[in-house]
Structure formats: structure tokens, C-alpha cells
């Protein structure tokens, strides 16, 4: 098989959450334990840092991997889902796993697939662990998929953990309250393993405190360690000035200018201080700051307030739930530009009506759908949006929708593409 045939084989043979939703989710660690045992427990060959949360865990994972790369470590990074290529999920020192390696791994271990019948996610996890072992990774940054307690990645025994924002998402799997969702995320907290919480939230604070106390795990909240005095967003970079528990003042630059990164960066900085104080990794403050600044170069994260064009501005962002969309639209309002165009697509198993209440009624909408079985049809999204006073046209293909918006907009207008990771993943038109 070649690479395309292998990926098609995996999609066909294994339940895939990003295509099928809840029915593809296999809770529990039974399958991943069997996979790891059959392949020699590759997860024991490297030290790991574990990250969970609703929003911000992808960005935080990339920031942390970049910081470790700046310290000269051999760094593995596992995240999901991917935007355009499956190989984005598994990186070594910022570079995607080679397509040839994926082919060879699948062909070599087809019997495992037939014997254990794992989910697509479980297979990608064991693939990442095996790749990291082969590459002699020293530190691996591992992002959870769903939740934490029953997530396949939770088989690792990390050196430290981070939990980012908690918000409404995947209620059909994680629970129908924010407290239940937080409880699932808290499942990554292990015996004696330090935990950092990026964002103190009233409904989750006691849940995390209690779990940490039960596990005798040192716990900190980022806002107790990192304080921002000011920040300036010049659209190309986010310039932040603050102070920390260890440093009186400091300046830091982020290449990712979504203002939700302010909390993500605070979480990562506080986590780094905790890791340093507990002598887990001998991190250097200057290299931590450089790691944040060079994160786009080092790890190539895409789709976070990604400016695709100016005049008119075109920004793509993978925001897709209440918290993510709220923060995104707050930043959009600050742009002080002309007419707002929103190219919107969502998956059907989200709380569509809750998210639609957040969008402005005075924007021009183009409703889309990703080429994904879970995607809500553009026509149904248009009907649901109309119930909330949002009017627009349908264009299934996101790239055609972008062309329509470009032809219809003026230089001072603002075009936002959002609502689904899978929609942003299909953007491939050229930009000027």
C-alpha cells in the first residue's frame, strides 16, 4: 500500500471520531494497554508532559514543545485532530512523521488491528508512542483527545500535567454539566505528579483542588504565578509585559495573535516555573521566552487566528464551541474595520443553537459544510441561524465561499472563517 491507501484503510477499518462522532469513541484504557504491551510498552521509553482541557490545549502543547526544543531536547509532540495531513498529529522536533514511516508501521502491524480492533484514535496514540521510541525522544508533549480520565493517552505516567480552559464541548460523552466535564479532565492528575491549571474558573477550582489533594499532587493556578501588566496586539505579534513569581518583570512575544493566547501563555509560563521549581526539567527563563516567540517556526501550528490576507482581512480560526467562539468574536469586534463577513460551518453533534446565539446579527453570512460525515449541512445551518436572526447564503465549498466574500467585500472589510476545525482544514485557495 502507498500512503493514501494506508490512510484510507485506517479510515475504513477503524472507528474514526472526527468522522463518526460518539459511536467511534471507545472509553477506557483496555485497548491501548493491549497495544502497548504487544509493542513493548514504548510509552516507557520517554518522559512525558500531559495536557488536557477544552480550549487551548493544542496551542499550549505546541508552546511547550517549542520551549523544550529551544533547550536542545529531542522532543516528541502528539496532538489531534490534524488540519490537512494525518502526519501533523505526530511530530519530532517540529517535523511531521514521514508518510513512509506511517505506511511501514501499519503494514508491519496489521495483525494488531485485526486482533484488538482499536479505534482510530487509539491507533494513532500507539503509533505516536512507537515513533517517539524509535526517534529516541527524551521529552514528549502529549495532548489528550477527549476528556482525560478515559482518554487513551492517559496510559502514560507523566512528569507534570497541565489543564487549560474548561468549557461546553462533547457533552454527549463527557457529561451534561461543566462540573462533570472538569471531573473528566481532572482524570489526568496522577499520584504525586504536579498539576498546573491555566485558568481559574469558579465551577472547576474545587474539583481540581480535591483531585490534587487525593493524589498528593502539587497544584498551582497560573493567575497566582503570572500577572500581565499590559499587552499590545499589532496583528503580526502579540507583545506582552508582565511579572511572575520568579521574575519581577519580563517581556514576551507571541507569533500567535489570537487574544485567547494571553491565558494560554500564562498557563505555560506558570507550568514552566513549577517544573523548574520542582527540579523536573532545568529550564532557563530566556529559552522559555524564546520558545514561545519561535513556536510557529518550531512546531508549525496552524488555524489559530491565522491571518490569510489583508485588505480585506481574512482570518481563519478553528474556534467551534461556546468559549472559543466568544473569545474569537470579542477580538473581531476590536478590529474596527468595515463590514463583517462570516464564513461558518459546524459539525452536527455540537450545541449549535447555543453557539449561534453568540454571533452578531449585522454580519454577512456564508454557510458552509466541511466534507466530513459529521458536518451539519449548509442548508440546515442556514435554517437554524435564521432562527437567531442570522441571514446569509449557502455555499458548501469553503474555498468558493471565500472567493464570493472576496468579490463582494471592500478593502476595509473583515472576513472570518470559523466554526469547525474541519472547515478550516479545507482552505486551500491562494491569498494575496
Give residue-wise pLDDT tens across range 397-407.
999 999 999 99
307-320 residue pLDDT tens: 999 889 999 999 98
What local confidence, expressed as pLDDT, does residue 213 receive?
Answer: 97
Exposed/middle/buried for 3, CB within 10 Å: 0-12, 13-18, 19+? middle
Confidence of residue 148 (pLDDT cuts 50, 70, 90): confident
Burial of residue 309 (CB within 10 Å: 0-12, 13-18, 19+) is middle
pLDDT band for position 428 (cuts 50, 70, 90): confident
> Whole-angstrom Cα distance, residue 344 to residue 106?
36
Render pLDDT for 83-102 as a digit per residue (tens, 0 to 9).
889 999 999 999 999 999 99
Average pLDDT over residues 297-302: 94
Query: What Rg value do the Cα atoms of the chain yield, rounded?
Result: 21
Model-level pTM? 0.92
Q: Which residue has the cell 458536518?
A: 375
Q: What is the pLDDT of residue 432?
A: 43
Amino acid at each position: 500500500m502507498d500512503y493514501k491507501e494506508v490512510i484510507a484503510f485506517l479510515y475504513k477499518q477503524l472507528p474514526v471520531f472526527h468522522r463518526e462522532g460518539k459511536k467511534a469513541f471507545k472509553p477506557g484504557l483496555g485497548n491501548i494497554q493491549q497495544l502497548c504491551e504487544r509493542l513493548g510498552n514504548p510509552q516507557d521509553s520517554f518522559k512525558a508532559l500531559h495536557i488536557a482541557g477544552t480550549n487551548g490545549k493544542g496551542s499550549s502543547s505546541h508552546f511547550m514543545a517549542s520551549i523544550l526544543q529551544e533547550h536542545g531536547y529531542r522532543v516528541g509532540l502528539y496532538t489531534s485532530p490534524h488540519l490537512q495531513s494525518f502526519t501533523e498529529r505526530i511530530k519530532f522536533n517540529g517535523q511531521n512523521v514521514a508518510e513512509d514511516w506511517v505506511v511501514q508501521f501499519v503494514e508491519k502491524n496489521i495483525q494488531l488491528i485485526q486482533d484488538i480492533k482499536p479505534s482510530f484514535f487509539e491507533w494513532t496514540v500507539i503509533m505516536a508512542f512507537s515513533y517517539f521510541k524509535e526517534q529516541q525522544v527524551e521529552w514528549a508533549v502529549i495532548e489528550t483527545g477527549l476528556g482525560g480520565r478515559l482518554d487513551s493517552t492517559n496510559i502514560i505516567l507523566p512528569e507534570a500535567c497541565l489543564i487549560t480552559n474548561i468549557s461546553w464541548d462533547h457533552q454527549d460523552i463527557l457529561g451534561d454539566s461543566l462540573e462533570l466535564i472538569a471531573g473528566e479532565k481532572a482524570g489526568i492528575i496522577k499520584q504525586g505528579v504536579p498539576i498546573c491549571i491555566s485558568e481559574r474558573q469558579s465551577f472547576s477550582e474545587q474539583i481540581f483542588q480535591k483531585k490534587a489533594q487525593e493524589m498528593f499532587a502539587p497544584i498551582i493556578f497560573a493567575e497566582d504565578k503570572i500577572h500581565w501588566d499590559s499587552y499590545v496586539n499589532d496583528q503580526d505579534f502579540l507583545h506582552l509585559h508582565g511579572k511572575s513569581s520568579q521574575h519581577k518583570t519580563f517581556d514576551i512575544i507571541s507569533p500567535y495573535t489570537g487574544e485567547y493566547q494571553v491565558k494560554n501563555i500564562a498557563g505555560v509560563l506558570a507550568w514552566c516555573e513549577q517544573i523548574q521549581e520542582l527540579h523536573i526539567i532545568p529550564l532557563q527563563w530566556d529559552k522559555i521566552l524564546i520558545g514561545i516567540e519561535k513556536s510557529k517556526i518550531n512546531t508549525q501550528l496552524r488555524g489559530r487566528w491565522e491571518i490569510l490576507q489583508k485588505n480585506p482581512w481574512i482570518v481563519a480560526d478553528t474556534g467551534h464551541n461556546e468559549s472559543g467562539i466568544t473569545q474569537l468574536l470579542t477580538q473581531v469586534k476590536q478590529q474596527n474595520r468595515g463590514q463583517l463577513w462570516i464564513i461558518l460551518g459546524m459539525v452536527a453533534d455540537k450545541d449549535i443553537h447555543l453557539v449561534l446565539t453568540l454571533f452578531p446579527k449585522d454580519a454577512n453570512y456564508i454557510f458552509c459544510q466541511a466534507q466530513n460525515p459529521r458536518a451539519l449541512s449548509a442548508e440546515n445551518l442556514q435554517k437554524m441561524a435564521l432562527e437567531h436572526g442570522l441571514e446569509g447564503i449557502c455555499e458548501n465549498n469553503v474555498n468558493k465561499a471565500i472567493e464570493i466574500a472576496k468579490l463582494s467585500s471592500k478593502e476595509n472589510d473583515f472576513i472570518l472563517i470559523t466554526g469547525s476545525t474541519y472547515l478550516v482544514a479545507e482552505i486551500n485557495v491562494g491569498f494575496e
